């Protein structure tokens, strides 16, 4: 992570945990956090957002959502709007996750429309990008990331306080595979270079870029030591209070060590 940057640790619970399970987890997590924790965001299922947000009140934990539609209202059976998420207590939304792209065939253009609407209704946004195994094998990883970033952020006003980028290699999602810290750093560096093309150098250095892809307790510290990895988007490991809190505590230790070494 970069000197002076407070890391962001995000739990994406996907289609796991009932409302009661979510409340129990969110209620217990503060006691497992360090005294000066990094940013901690959790995206439970839609049905648990309101209850989880209530359970998180008074703590540093931020509750968000895993997806949304780009219209405020309408005949969109099964969808949920940004206004509804805000009303339920969500403060951020994850958009363009690889599972949405792969399983539900979401295009860059659709993700861009969602990003634009999410920001308009006051949600912070985590924009996900990443290449498939085939695209990496064909040597197209850099090209794919540049296309995704430029398309998903087209006509979006840059704001480091509301936009987070997440690099998640599709081949490492739920497979047990994970990019080595060096591989992840290379891709994060490329993402930041693309952001410079889109928004300029000054803002691109302020945007947080997270790594997501089979993050575990044993590889998280090594990933966070990389200079362009500002945090983690965690799936399976975030479902365990023990594992999630360990990753958060380890990141806090790394921040303290970084400050000490830099004389801050």
pLDDT-derived band at 171 (thresholds 50, 70, 90) equals confident
Residue of 97, 106, 131, 188 marked active site:
97
Mind listing the pLDDT tens digit for each residue in 212-228? 988 999 999 999 999 99
What pLDDT is stored for residue 27 in this prediction? 98
Give the domain ranges of the chain.
8-262
In CATH terms, 8-262 corresponds, of 1.10.1070.20, 3.20.20.70, 1.10.1040.50, 1.10.3720.10, to 3.20.20.70
What pLDDT is stored for residue 262 in this prediction? 67
Higher pLDDT, 11 or 256: 11
What pLDDT is stored for residue 161 in this prediction? 93
**Which pair of tokens denotes residue 249?**
């505590």
Asked if 97 is an active-site residue, the reply is yes
Q: What is the DSSP letter of 134?
A: H
Residue of 105, 168, 182, 188 marked active site:
168
**Which pair of tokens denotes residue 104?**
């539900």
Mind listing the pLDDT tens digit for each residue in 31-45? 999 998 999 999 999
Asked if 193 is an active-site residue, the reply is no
**Which pair of tokens denotes residue 21?**
């399970």
Is a pLDDT exceeding 70 seen at residue 263?
A: no
Mind listing the pLDDT tens digit for each residue in 75-104? 999 999 999 999 999 999 999 999 999 999
CA pair distance 264, 258, nearest whole angstrom: 8
Read off the pTM: 0.96
Distance linking the first and last C-alpha atoms of the chain: 15
């Amino acid at each position: 992570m970069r000197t002076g940057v407070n890391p962001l640790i995000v739990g994406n619970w996907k289609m796991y945990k009932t409302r009661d399970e979510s409340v129990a987890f969110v209620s217990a997590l503060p006691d497992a956090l360090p005294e000066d924790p990094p940013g901690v965001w959790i995206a439970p299922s839609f049905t648990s957002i309101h209850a989880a947000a209530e359970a998180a009140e008074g703590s540093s934990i931020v509750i968000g959502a895993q997806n949304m539609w780009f219209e405020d209202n309408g005949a969109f059976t099964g969808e949920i709007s940004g206004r509804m998420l805000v009303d339920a207590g969500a403060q951020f939304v994850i958009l363009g996750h690889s599972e949405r792209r792969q399983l539900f065939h979401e295009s860059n253009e659709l993700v861009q429309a969602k990003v634009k609407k999410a920001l308009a209704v006051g949600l912070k946004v985590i924009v996900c990008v990443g290449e498939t195994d085939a695209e990496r094998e064909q040597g197209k990883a850099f090209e794919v990331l540049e296309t995704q970033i430029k398309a998903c952020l087209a006509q979006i006003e840059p704001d480091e306080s509301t936009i987070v980028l997440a690099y998640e290699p599709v081949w490492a999602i739920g497979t047990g595979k994970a990019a080595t810290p060096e591989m992840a750093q290379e891709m994060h560096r490329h993402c930041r270079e693309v952001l410079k093309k889109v928004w300029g150098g000054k803002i691109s250095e302020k945007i947080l870029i997270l790594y997501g892809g089979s993050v575990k307790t044993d590889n998280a510290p090594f990933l966070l030591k990389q200079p362009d990895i500002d945090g983690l988007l965690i799936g399976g490991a975030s479902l365990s209070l023990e594992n999630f809190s360990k990753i958060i505590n380890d990141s806090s230790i790394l921040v303290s060590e970084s400050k000490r070494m830099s004389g801050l």
